[in-house]
Amino acid sequence: MTDFRSDRMPSNEGLGRARAAWDAYLRWGKKHVQPVTDPVVRPLAMRYSANKVTQLVGFWVMWHAYGGYQGLIDLGMAPTTVYRNVKAFRTLFGQHPDEFEFDGLSIDLKAWHGTSGDAS
């Protein structure tokens, strides 16, 4: 198992890229519109743990990146785990992960799987 403790990042924010993008978004939002993220995420995080919300967003990404139920099974996820995550996702987001779409979040399958689609 790899020990990453000796490979320290500059801070607990890593390189700070996500934080810088978030801060820029908030600065932009104050000038243009109120950010919609807080009214969307905060009630979910208060009803469920932030950890579970994060896990379910990751589940949604993997569901779409690997072709749904069978793809996750082929990756080694147990069928009961898939069913449990689908149920939790539907409870939290109100739709099956196959139907749900996150505004502003999409997956480039060619890039994800390292293929360009070119016949060269």
- Shared domain for 65 and 79, answered yes or no, is yes
Q: Does 60 reside within a domain?
A: yes
- Shared domain for 71 and 105, answered yes or no, is yes
- Shared domain for 96 and 79, answered yes or no, is yes
The DSSP call for residue 114 is T
The whole-angstrom separation of Cα 26 and Cα 43 is: 19
- Shared domain for 32 and 65, answered yes or no, is no
Q: Could you tell me if 59 and 100 are in contact, meaning their C-beta atoms sit under 8 angstroms apart?
A: no
pLDDT category of residue 81 using cuts at 50, 70 and 90: very high
Domain count, the chain: 2
pLDDT category of residue 43 using cuts at 50, 70 and 90: confident
User: What is the mean pLDDT of the segment spanning 55-78?
Assistant: 93
- Shared domain for 76 and 97, answered yes or no, is yes
- Shared domain for 82 and 40, answered yes or no, is no
Q: Supply φ then ψ for residue 117, to 5 degrees.
A: 85, -5
The whole-angstrom separation of Cα 82 and Cα 60 is: 11
Q: Does 30 reside within a domain?
A: yes
CA dihedral 73, 82, 108, 12 (to 10 degrees): -110
pLDDT category of residue 92 using cuts at 50, 70 and 90: confident
The whole-angstrom separation of Cα 10 and Cα 15 is: 6
pLDDT the model gives residue 115: 78
Q: Does 5 reside within a domain?
A: no
Least confident stretch, 30-39, 42-51, 101-110: 30-39
pLDDT category of residue 9 using cuts at 50, 70 and 90: low
The whole-angstrom separation of Cα 60 and Cα 65 is: 8
Domain that holds residue 26: 12-46
User: What average pLDDT is seen over the chain?
Assistant: 80
User: What is the mean pLDDT of the segment spanning 76-86?
Assistant: 94
- Shared domain for 75 and 97, answered yes or no, is yes
* Six token digits for residue 73: 């099974």
Q: Which residue has the higher pLDDT, 101 or 45?
A: 101
